[in-house]
A = this chain, B = another copy of it.
Amino acid sequence: MDTPIVILNYKTYLESSGNNALNLARDLESASEESGIMMVACPQAGDIYRVCESTSLPVYAQHIDAVSPGSHTGANLIQTLIEAGASGSLINHSEKRMELADIDEVVQLCSQFKIKSCVCTNNLATSQAAAQLNPDAVAFEPPELIGTGIPVSQTQPEVVADTVESVKAINKNIKVLCGAGITDGDDMKAAIELGADGVLLASGIIKAESPKDALLDLVSKI
């Protein structure tokens, strides 16, 4: 995982679904090329193939189910997502929380299939717990700030710094991202200065008048 990294969670907004998912991927791609900063798109499962076809961005799934091939109607099988083009996945996002044993299983599946795993967490203790599972990254997002535009990196700097330090004390190879309320260049600069390896964002970019300009602004101060 090259860092600093910007991961854009598409969620299920209309602005980031279907054809809009492709447009957004192109914005990410040109912002990434212009800035030289690694950017990743996380579209819905139904859009992964199309997004991968139309860009050279790394594309992560929003969720992988803790299942092996078999009778699991409605599940997202890791093999299918990889064949569609995914090279990583968010795991345990606060809107798709998972049982501890399942988080562990999906992190192991990602490692076995050599794709990136990014476990989302809600506080210091769960970030340390997630780190014990050896994912590629931990993305710390206080749920109460998600979608608010109140940047965790500026309002809870000590928690971000503690999380970075604690996760890296467990395994220094784990990247630490921070999310929730991150919108502009100052927010991202603050995150990086606190030791974070990148940011996880969503509505602040997706709902921006020009997502590409918002992305360029985001990385303008690092």
Chain A interface (Cβ within 8 Å of chain B)? 9, 11-14, 17-19, 21, 44-50, 62-63, 67, 69-77, 79-81, 83-84, 90, 92-104, 121-123, 125-126, 128-134, 146-147, 202-203
Contacts and interface: CB of A to CB of B under 8 A. Distances in A.
Indicate how many identical chains form the complex: 4
Contacts of A130: 100, 129
A74 B49 contact: no
Nearest to A81: B46
Contact of A132 (B18, B62, B125): B125
A93 B96 CA distance: 20
B80 A17 contact: yes
Given A14-B79, A100-B121, 11 more contacts: A11-B71, A12-B75, A12-B80, A44-B75, A62-B73, A73-B90, A73-B95, A99-B100, A100-B103, A104-B123, A126-B133
A126 B147 CA distance: 30
Contacts of A72: 11-12, 95
B80 A47 contact: yes
Contacts of A147: 71
B47 A50 contact: no
A69 B44 CA distance: 12
A73 B203 CA distance: 12
Contacts of A21: 80
A146 B75 CA distance: 17
Given A71-B203, A121-B100, A133-B125, A12 B77 contact: yes
A199 to B, nearest CB: 16
Given A46-B49, A46-B81, A69 B125 contact: no
A133 to B, nearest CB: 5
**Residue picked from A11, A93, A102, most chain B C-beta under 10 Å:** A11
B125 A73 contact: no
A182 to B, nearest CB: 15
B104 A129 contact: yes
A77 to B, nearest CB: 4
21 contacts: A9-B73, A12-B71, A12-B75, A14-B69, A21-B80, A44-B76, A46-B46, A46-B48, A46-B84, A47-B80, A62-B73, A71-B146, A71-B203, A92-B99, A92-B100, A97-B100, A98-B100, A99-B100, A100-B100, A100-B126, A104-B122
